[in-house]
Amino acid sequence: MLLSGLAALQSANAQEVVKDEYILTPSRAAARSGAIKNNSRINAKKYLSDGKVVVSTSPRSAARLDSTDGPQSAPFNPLDKGCEELLKIVGSGYDCEPNYIVHASKLPNDSNYSRLWGMNAIKAPNAWDVSTGSAQVVVAVIDTGVDYRHSDLADNMWQNPG
């Protein structure tokens, strides 16, 4: 069983958001128009690879969007008018949502995980809180019944180059 390269994401029980940050998803026409890029009323912008834009309504957040200190969180407030105000600024053609905070789950995405009683017995989830390994880790299996073609093993088999 291998952990996927990207850990599954799960929301916290109580929704948290990054304070004063919103994600705008442009329609194709809006993306081409440059309404966000050329708008000086939006204080900070971070362009994501999928075309979405993280924007902030706080003057102090321009530096924070690029920092590694982490966001300042706040509880989700359904009465927050930030999206409504942003949509007035950038015009039509956008969807807006708060920048929700999600947390990685270290449990594997293996559909058979629930049948692996031994993982809890050896406290594997506790170990995964410390480390989920790396490509540098080599595991030796001494067993004549290894299926080298198994989907969890095929791309990760090491062979002695000597």
pLDDT in tens, 49-95: 777 778 776 655 544 444 444 555 555 666 678 888 888 877 777 88
Q: Tell me: the pLDDT tens digits for 88-142?
A: 877 777 888 888 887 766 777 788 888 888 888 888 888 887 877 777 877 777 7
Q: Which fold has domain 8-103?
A: Alpha-Beta Plaits (3.30.70)
pLDDT at 151: 83
Which residue would you say has higher pLDDT here, 40 or 24?
A: 24
Q: Is the pTM of this model over 0.85?
A: no
Three-state DSSP string of the chain: CCCCCCCEEEECCCCEEEEEEEEEEECHHHHHHCCCCCCCCCCEEEECCCCCEEEECCCCHHHHHCCCCCCCEEECCCCCCHHHHHHHHHCCCEEEEEEECEEEECCCCCCCHHHCHHHHHCCHHHHHHHCCCCCCCCCCCCCCCCCCCCCCCHHHCCCCCC
**Spatial distance between the Cα atoms of 157 and 150, rounded to a whole number of angstroms:** 10
Count other C-beta atoms under 10 Å from residue 35's C-beta.
19
Q: Quick check: 56 and 24 in contact, CB under 8 A?
A: no
pLDDT at 48: 76
Question: Quick check: 39 pLDDT over 70?
Answer: no
pLDDT at 120: 85
